Amino acid sequence: MIKIGEVAVRYNISNRTLRYWEEVGILASIRLDNGYRFYDDENITRINQIMVLRKLRLPIRDIQRIFVSNELSCVVSALCRHLEDTRHEVEELNALSIVLERLIEAVKYHNSISEIFEYLDIPDNTAILELKNALQITLSERNNFMSENSSYNKIGNVRIVKLPRMIFACFRAESTTPENDCSAVVNKLIFENSLHEKYGFRHFGFNNPDPQKDSPVYGYEMWVVVPEDFAVPEPFYRKEFAGGLYASLSTQMTIIGERWRQLSDWVMNSRKYEMDWNPDADRICLEECIDYISFISDDIDENDKQLDLLTPIKLKRK
């Protein structure tokens, strides 16, 4: 048997993702009296199977259906649907490449950028109108086809956002399930004081400390916006947050580990920005709950719960 922390390191999967797979019934761990959670050989095999399907870019929802149903027909249906989506994507990319090739040829014979755009804007230029219409249709179909659940939505749009100055009530829990333990305390404070109904309410969270492979215990901390004159009760503490610049990427709970890695890679490869990590100044990675009421609801599917991932950045020096 292998500890959950060792599995997370071996397969580069977050502890949260592994716990989610357990919650939806596609994975099971064994918890010993000392609090450590282990995966036996059968579940290690299951993790390998899930990873293979993810490498094929199969959506999480289809993977869940496959293992929950445990029926061969479900596997065939999911793979056929994925094959159809893949072929559709290939056709659209081929169409887009043809349009771009023709557009390149059309603008090669002009002497300046302004002349190119003037040429493109000529209303009676039939050839260009056809290209523009074809391009518009192709892009429109591509946008309609791609969604958050699509296996092709590999990164989405990274947004550059500036968080404002805020006053937080903060609480941290440390246990084997710190997100749940922290939420229980924070939610009580929010509802008792109707904080979620007040102007400017926002809700952030982050690991503190991060999970370690040799320990089942780690921490999670939450910050919620409160009015400036709000008396922060114990065991919470008050924080004045200075704000700052962040790279932001939306995620569903089902793929949060993958999205964090994608955001990190984006920042590392950015030509314009670099990481601005400084915990002493609260320049840390954050997870912001976008729709608080839906997020805490047991009636909302985990696939439909959304977070914004935030990484502190700054402009690179020239």
pLDDT confidence of 101, banded at 50, 70, 90?
Answer: confident
194 has pLDDT over 90? yes
Q: Render pLDDT for 261-292 as a digit per residue (tens, 0 to 9).
A: 889 999 999 999 999 999 999 999 999 998 99
CB neighbour list of residue 107: distance below 8 Å, 6 or more residues apart: 116, 119, 120
Residue 309 to residue 285: CA distance in whole angstroms: 8
pLDDT confidence of 34, banded at 50, 70, 90?
Answer: confident
Q: List the structure tokens of 206.
A: 């982050």
For the segment 231-241, the average pLDDT, to the nearest whole number, is 96
Structure confidence at residue 173 (pLDDT)? 95
For the segment 130-156, the average pLDDT, to the nearest whole number, is 47
More confident residue, 144 or 219: 219
For the segment 140-164, the average pLDDT, to the nearest whole number, is 59
**Which range, 110-119, 121-130, 188-197, 258-267, has the best average confidence (pLDDT)?**
188-197
Q: List the structure tokens of 259.
A: 């999205």
Structure confidence at residue 152 (pLDDT)? 38
Structure confidence at residue 191 (pLDDT)? 96
- Do the domains at 2-57 and 159-315 have one common CATH topology? no
Lowest-confidence pick of 91-105, 216-230, 232-246: 91-105
pLDDT confidence of 119, banded at 50, 70, 90?
Answer: low
For the segment 86-98, the average pLDDT, to the nearest whole number, is 82
Question: Other CB atoms closer than 10 Å to residue 165's CB: what's the count?
Answer: 9
Q: Render pLDDT for 81-90 as a digit per residue (tens, 0 to 9).
A: 889 888 888 8
139 has pLDDT over 80? no
Structure confidence at residue 120 (pLDDT)? 58
Residue 207 to residue 279: CA distance in whole angstroms: 12
- Contact by Cβ (8 Å): 207, 220: yes
- Contact by Cβ (8 Å): 241, 281: no
Question: Other CB atoms closer than 10 Å to residue 116's CB: what's the count?
Answer: 16
Q: List the structure tokens of 257.
A: 């580990």
**Which one is the CATH code of 2-57: 2.60.40.3140, 1.10.1660.10, 3.20.20.70, 3.40.50.300?**
1.10.1660.10
Q: Where are the domains of the chain?
A: 2-57, 72-145, 159-315
Structure confidence at residue 98 (pLDDT)? 77
Residue 206 to residue 311: CA distance in whole angstroms: 11
For the segment 239-260, the average pLDDT, to the nearest whole number, is 90
Phi/psi at 284 (nearest 5 deg)?
-130, 170
171 has pLDDT over 70? yes
Lowest-confidence pick of 32-36, 118-122, 159-163, 191-195: 118-122
- The topology under which CATH files domain 159-315 is Multidrug-efflux Transporter 1 Regulator Bmrr; Chain A (3.20.80)
Structure confidence at residue 153 (pLDDT)? 41
For the segment 109-127, the average pLDDT, to the nearest whole number, is 61
129 has pLDDT over 70? no
Mean pLDDT computed over every residue of the chain: 83
Structure confidence at residue 183 (pLDDT)? 94
For the segment 57-61, the average pLDDT, to the nearest whole number, is 83
Structure confidence at residue 9 (pLDDT)? 80
147 has pLDDT over 60? no
155 has pLDDT over 70? no
Lowest-confidence pick of 94-98, 119-123, 215-219: 119-123
